[in-house]
A and B are shown apart, each in its own frame.
Chain A
Amino acid sequence: MYSEKVMEYFMNPKNIGEIENPDGVGEVGNPRCGDIMRITIKVEDDRITDVKFKTFGCVAAIATSSMITEMAIGKTIEEALQLTNKAVAEALDGLPPAKMHCSNLAADALHAAIKDYQERVGASQ
C-alpha cells in the first residue's frame, strides 16, 4: 500500500528532534485524528538553515515529516512557502488516497513555523 520511498523514509527518518532556541515553531494536526506534526526551523539571512520534526502519527505522517525537512533545508523563506503538501507526496512517489488528507500535513507544519518566524521578526522590528 505504501511506496518503497515512503517506507524508506518511515524506517530511516531524517532530522528528528527539536532545534534549541528555534527561530520558528509550527504545530498542526490534532490528537483526535491521530496526527500531530511539530516543526522547528533555524533561519539565517532569510534562508532556512535547519529544520527538525517531531511527529505523532502513522507511516505517512512520519515519512512526509521527514521529507519536508529535507526539502526545506537550504531554501529561502519565499521558496519554502512554495512547497506544498502535494509536492511532498509526489517526492515520496505518492501516498495512498486515504492518506492524502489526514496524514499529509507536513508543508502546513512548515508554513506554520515560517509564519511564527515572520511574526517574531516583525515583532522585533
Chain B
Amino acid sequence: MKTIYLDHAATTPVHPRVLEKMLPYFRDQYGNPSSVYRLGREAKKAVEDAREKVAQLIGAEPREIVFTSGGTEADNIALQGVARANRDRGRHIITSAVEHHAVLHTAEALEKEGFSVTYLPVDKYGRISIADLEAAIGKDTILISIMYANNEVGTVQPIREIGRLAREHGIIFHTDAVQAVGYLPIDVNRDNIDLLTLSGHKLYGPKGIGALYLRRGTRIAPLMGGGAQERKWRPGTENVPGIVGLGEAAVLAGENMEERAAKLRRLRDMLIDGVLERIDHVRVNGHPEERLPGNAHFAFEFIEGESLLLNLDLEGIAASSGSACTSGSLEPSHVLLAMGMPHEIAHGSLRLTLGEDNTEEDIERVLEVLPPIVQKLRDMSPLYKKSL
C-alpha cells in the first residue's frame, strides 16, 4: 500500500538534491573545519557557503547565522541566552500561550530562575492581539518571543507589527519560525526580527541541524562553553554534512516559493472543502486566511483523535492529532485549549499538513477513506446520538 504522507509539519523527507550535496561530507570531505590543512579548509568553505545560503533565505548577513542542532536548541539559546545576558536591564519576558514547547518549557524554566513571563492569550483563530502585547510591555521587559506560524493549527502571527512594537520599545524580538521558513517570504529586517529559529528537517533538509539568526549587536550569552566554533555562540565541532544539507535546503526553499505555496494552498483548500462537504459536525481550526499554505486542521465532534489516526494509518495515511493520547499527557493540545476549544472537541482533532510530493489523487483518497472512518467511530461513541 502506498503511504500518503500528510504530516509535513512533523518532518519532511530529505530532498534528493540535498542528500546528494551532503554525501561527500561523510566520507571524502570529512575534515574538521577548524583544521588548517586542505581537508579542513574545504570543510570550512562548505560551512561558510551554507551559511550564506541560509542567510539569503531570510534576508540576513551570513555572520548573523549560528548553526545549531535544531529548532529546540536554537529556541533555548535565544530565550536563555537573552534572559541571562540582559538580567541587569530587566526580568520580564513576553511570549504566547500557543508556542511550541521548546519555547514554553524554556520560559517556564526561566520563571524558576526569577524571571517573570507573560503568556499572551490568543483568539479563537490562535492569533495574539497587538493591543494585549502593547499592554503587557513594561519597563522591565527584555524579550518578546512569538512564533511566526503555529505548528498545530498553522495560524500566522502578526509578526511585522510585533517587530515594530518591539523595536519602538527597545525590546529584543525572537520568533520561532520553524514552520514558516521556506513557506512564507521572511525578511528579518522588514519584520524587525532580532532572533529567528529555523530547522532543517521541516524544509526537506536533514534532521539534527537548525540555525539561529542572531542580529548583530544583540546582547546574548552562549549556553555552552567549549570552543570557538560558531563564533562561540554554539561551540562544538560543526555538523558539516548537516550544515551543507541545510544550505541546499535553503536554496531549494527560496526557489519558486510562491509557486510551491500556491500548489499547497490549492490542495489544502480542496481537502478542507471536501471534508466539509462530506462530514458534518466538523470544525476547521486556525485562521481562515492568515495560515500556512499546507496546513489543514480539523476537529471532529464525538470521536477521539488517536482512534482516528490509527484507522487512517491502516489505510496508509500518516497524520497527527492534538488529543491527549497523542500528546503523551493527560491533557489535549495546549494550543487548542488556548483557542478556547472544549476538551472533548480538542480530543477529536486531526492535523493534515501537505508537502511538495502530495497530489490531487492523495487528497481524493483521503476524502474517500476519512468519512467512513469518522462514521464508524461515531457509531461507537456514546456522545454521538445524545447530541443529535
Residues of A in contact with B (beta carbons under 8 Å apart)? 7, 10-11, 13, 16, 27, 31-38, 54-59, 61-62, 98-99, 102-103
Contacts and interface: CB of A to CB of B under 8 A. Distances in A.
B379 A102 contact: no
A54 B380 contact: yes
A16 B347 contact: no
Contact of A56 (B311, B342, B382): B382
A73 B302 CA distance: 27
* Contact size range, B: 20 to 34
B332 A56 contact: no
Interface in B289-308: 302-307
Contacts of A31: 342-344, 347, 383
A57 B307 contact: yes
B353 interface: no
A102 B381 contact: no
Nearest to B344: A31
B328 interface: yes
Given A34-B343, A54-B382, A56-B383, 19 more contacts: A10-B307, A16-B379, A16-B380, A31-B344, A31-B347, A33-B343, A34-B325, A35-B304, A36-B383, A54-B381, A56-B303, A57-B307, A58-B304, A58-B305, A58-B307, A59-B306, A59-B310, A102-B324, A102-B330
Interface of B: 302-307, 310-311, 314, 323-325, 328, 330, 332, 342-344, 347, 379-383
A61 B304 contact: yes
A62 to B, nearest CB: 6
Contacts of B305: 58
Given A16-B380, A34-B304, A34-B332, A58 B344 contact: no
A98 B328 CA distance: 8
A32 B344 contact: yes
B344 A11 contact: no
- A7, A37, A59, most chain B CB atoms within 10 A: A59
Nearest first, the 4 A-B pairs at minimum CB distance are A31-B344, A34-B347, A54-B382, A38-B382
Given A10-B307, A59-B310, A103-B325, A34 B382 contact: no
A35 B307 CA distance: 11
B381 A56 contact: yes
22 contacts: A11-B311, A11-B314, A13-B380, A16-B380, A31-B343, A31-B344, A33-B343, A34-B347, A35-B304, A54-B382, A55-B380, A56-B303, A56-B380, A56-B383, A57-B304, A57-B307, A58-B307, A58-B323, A61-B307, A99-B325, A102-B324, A103-B325
Contacts of A62: 307, 380
